[in-house]
Amino acid sequence: MNIRNEVLYRMYFLLFGLVVPAAAVLVYRTIEISVIDGERWRTEGQADYVRYRQIRADRGNILASDGSLLATSIPYFDIYFDPVAPAEKDFAGHIDSLAFCLATFVDDTYTPGGYRDYLLQLRRDSTNRHLLIKSRVSFNEKRKLESFPLFRMGRFRGGFIAEQVSERRRPFGLLAQRTIGYVREGAKPVGLEGFYNDVLEGEPGGQYMICVDRRQDIWMPLEDLAAIDPQGGDDVVTTIDVNLQDIVENALVRALNYHDAEWGTAVLMDTKTGAIKAIANLGRMAEGWWETYNYAVGSAIEPGSTFKTASMLAMLEDGTITLEDTVDIEHGKTQFYKETMVDSSPESATMDSIPVRKAFEMSSNVGIAKLVTSRYGGLSGRADDRSATKYIKRLKQFNLHLPTGVEIEGEADPYIKEAYSQESNWSGTTLPWMSIGYELRLTPLQLLTFYNAIANGGTMMRPYLVQGVQRNGEMLREFRPTVVKRHIASEASIAQIRELLEGVVERGTARKLSTDKFTFAGKTGTSQINYQRLSETVTRVGGYRASFVGYFPADNPRFSCIVVISKPNRNGIYGSDVAGPVFREIADKVFATTVDLHPVINEQPRPVLANQQLPGFDIGQKDDIKKVLTYLDVKNYGTPTTEWAVIRPRSDSLLVMERNLPEKQVPSVVGMGLKDALYALENRGLAVKVEGYGKVVQQSLRPGTPARGQTIKVTLR
């Protein structure tokens, strides 16, 4: 009895000392989790399995000026199947026909029976609710797949899942690739894609998704329609002309290959508006030429002799020179302190005093540098002489110290030294070397903007690449040309500098590029790169950069253009030999393909036709001849009564005379067109052989020969 009581006491102790408190704790925790903190735990649990996920919108297109696609998003679809979603009745009723369609049209490595067994196995396992059927299918393929048995019931009844993915495509391949640019995850946005990303990407939508496989992070929508539909991006309409772009790129790549260069850039701009019609940037890669960097916008480089135009314009604006002044070029070699400056032209070695005009046209380094230093500091370069400040002020007047503001990220800032500034490392040799394009930096586009202002009568336009934003073909925003500065210099100074630039092509360094088809103006440039002063007399040069910048036609400029080619390794190094021919090729083809650059012929006064200019001895049917002459409004007289007629020139008009063709004899068809000759000969039973084209100049059978079905050969020319 005592033992029994002791056991009971121990059991009661365990019950009330351990079990009951533990049960109470469990009850309390259950109430706390389900009631007190229930909402928080339900929210967290739902977040693990149900989430509101963003749906990307369709990205807008980038269009050329004529509406051609430069960049567009091509939709593709990854097709999946959820074998657990369909009801048993639907699955059993369609599995055979679905397996047949998949094995026949999607994956022929399976037989229909094998595909059926495969789908049945997946349904029994019920672990893979996201079975890939086919990836990267087109929209038409998707429509075909979703018409298959069972799939046509949709996502929830049929288990058909189509996930859209988009791929950015450029229909014109590498055309303006770097300017168009890209937006990639983990990379800095580039070009127009990056600058106008907010416009192109649209407004994303959203949808509640449920996790069906946490291991593979697979999510499926809770409902067929998105809670918020995405709004597609708008289209960006550029100023690029695909035809002109093709001309510029092809001309540039030919030159790069011919000269075995490192890289090159070319930009074609509309003079009046600043619209960039073509821009090419090509660099050497292992697989060939590629647009890996926008040299026109991002590379601030020493421009070399093309900068001499700014130096001349500054002196003309200050009135310190006239084009008839003279300068002693010292046979192409002079000294500034301990630095020696030489001219690249062998012609300079025979010259001393020459006109300013000549010094510019032959691109004399010595001549331009001596003019600038004598007007803005003197050859002594005294530290107390502050006149170089006026020169820098003029350069800033031309906006050469400011970026253009073109709509592409990454434009390099220009670099113009401040006069006598220690921070700018100003020295006694800075002014003469700056005057010929060294110790300063500009991008090709910034330099082109300056030349474009000269071509535009002194009005500087902001270069731009986008003319508007549109949606569904309707223009939402239009970007008009922007005047940066109404006058960068006086009309007189602009007129004189244009005269000098025309002289460069007519008589100067670019004279071999001139053409009688149209006029153009510009400046050649050849700058040393990666140079080192090894001693007072020895300089190591790491290569050359050739350039040409100008505009055409010279008398009424429509286009301005710059070409820069870096490190040519063969077939020349100078701007006139390397970059100039590219400019000329671009100008030739642009001029030939731009209709409104050519005068309309029928708007000119009708010339009085001389006798030798009138058609003569043409033979044909009378009615046809009269009809043509009347249409062309050519004076004529004569009223032949025969079916055939012949034309004879008389002074400034034509005489239409009768022409008889014998019925049973071989007629003379010399002077007839082929149509009339065949009609006349075959109607007389002759077989005709033809050689050449044009009008009949010879026939094998003599006229007057009896026609008896012979073969006659007629020669046309």
Distance CA 519, CA 553 (A): 5
For the segment 384-388, the average pLDDT, to the nearest whole number, is 66
Integer CA distances (angstroms), 211 to 48, 80, 135, 465, 679, in order? 8, 15, 21, 45, 84
Question: Which of 74-83, 383-392, 432-441 is the least confident region?
Answer: 383-392
Q: What is the pTM of this model?
A: 0.71
Q: How confident is the model at residue 467, as a pLDDT?
A: 93
Share of residues in the chain with pLDDT > 70 (%): 84
Is pLDDT of 383 > 50? no
For the record, the structure tokens of 530 come out as: 């990666």
For the segment 149-156, the average pLDDT, to the nearest whole number, is 84
The more confident residue out of 614 and 371 is 371
- Asked if 643 and 620 count as a contact pair (C-beta separation under 8 A), the reply is no
Q: How confident is the model at residue 533, as a pLDDT?
A: 63
Give bridge partners of residue 166 from the DSSP assignment: 75
Question: Which of 48-57, 126-135, 689-698 is the least confident region?
Answer: 48-57
For the segment 94-117, the average pLDDT, to the nearest whole number, is 87
| Phi–psi pair at 268, nearest 5 degrees | -115, 125
Distance CA 707, CA 550 (A): 69
Q: How confident is the model at residue 381, as a pLDDT?
A: 43
For the segment 559-569, the average pLDDT, to the nearest whole number, is 96
CA 153 to chain centre: 46
Sheet holding 218-221, edge to edge: 50-55, 205-213, 218-221
For the record, the structure tokens of 630 come out as: 């009347």
Burial (CB count within 10 angstroms: exposed 0-12, middle 13-18, buried 19+), residue 79: buried
Residue 298, by phi and psi: left (phi above 0), alpha (psi -120 to 50) or beta?
A: alpha
Q: How confident is the model at residue 231, as a pLDDT?
A: 75
For the segment 680-691, the average pLDDT, to the nearest whole number, is 90
Q: What mean pLDDT value characterizes the chain?
A: 84
Q: How confident is the model at residue 158, as a pLDDT?
A: 82
Q: How confident is the model at residue 634, as a pLDDT?
A: 81
Distance CA 48, CA 147 (A): 34
Q: How confident is the model at residue 618, as a pLDDT?
A: 76
| Phi–psi pair at 527, nearest 5 degrees | -120, 145
For the segment 478-499, the average pLDDT, to the nearest whole number, is 95
Range ranked top by mean pLDDT from 265-274, 283-292, 602-611: 265-274
Is pLDDT of 37 > 70? no
Q: How confident is the model at residue 613, as a pLDDT?
A: 55
What is the band of 661 on the pLDDT scale with cuts at 50, 70, 90? Answer: confident
What is the band of 136 on the pLDDT scale with cuts at 50, 70, 90? Answer: confident
3-class DSSP assignment, residue 52: strand
Integer CA distances (angstroms), 568 to 262, 266, 393, 679, in order? 7, 15, 35, 64
For the segment 117-146, the average pLDDT, to the nearest whole number, is 82
CA angle 277, 279, 285 (to 5 degrees): 160
Q: How confident is the model at residue 222, as a pLDDT?
A: 56
Q: How confident is the model at residue 550, as a pLDDT?
A: 97
Distance CA 218, CA 124 (A): 19
Distance CA 158, CA 550 (A): 67
Burial (CB count within 10 angstroms: exposed 0-12, middle 13-18, buried 19+), residue 229: middle
Distance CA 566, CA 114 (A): 63
Q: How confident is the model at residue 107, as a pLDDT?
A: 86
**pLDDT tens per residue, range 340-359:** 899 988 888 888 899 999 99
Distance CA 178, CA 264 (A): 13
**pLDDT tens per residue, range 494-553:** 999 999 999 999 999 999 999 989 999 999 999 988 876 655 555 677 789 999 999 999
Q: How confident is the model at residue 2, as a pLDDT?
A: 64
What is the band of 384 on the pLDDT scale with cuts at 50, 70, 90? Answer: very low
For the segment 251-259, the average pLDDT, to the nearest whole number, is 95
Share of residues in the chain with pLDDT > 90 (%): 41
Range ranked top by mean pLDDT from 24-38, 162-176, 374-388, 624-638: 624-638
What is the band of 379 on the pLDDT scale with cuts at 50, 70, 90? Answer: very low
Q: Sign of the C-alpha dihedral, residues 298, 303, 309, 311?
A: positive
Q: How confident is the model at residue 617, as a pLDDT?
A: 60
Distance CA 573, CA 569 (A): 7
For the segment 87-102, the average pLDDT, to the nearest whole number, is 87
Q: How confident is the model at residue 205, as a pLDDT?
A: 61
3-class DSSP assignment, residue 21: helix
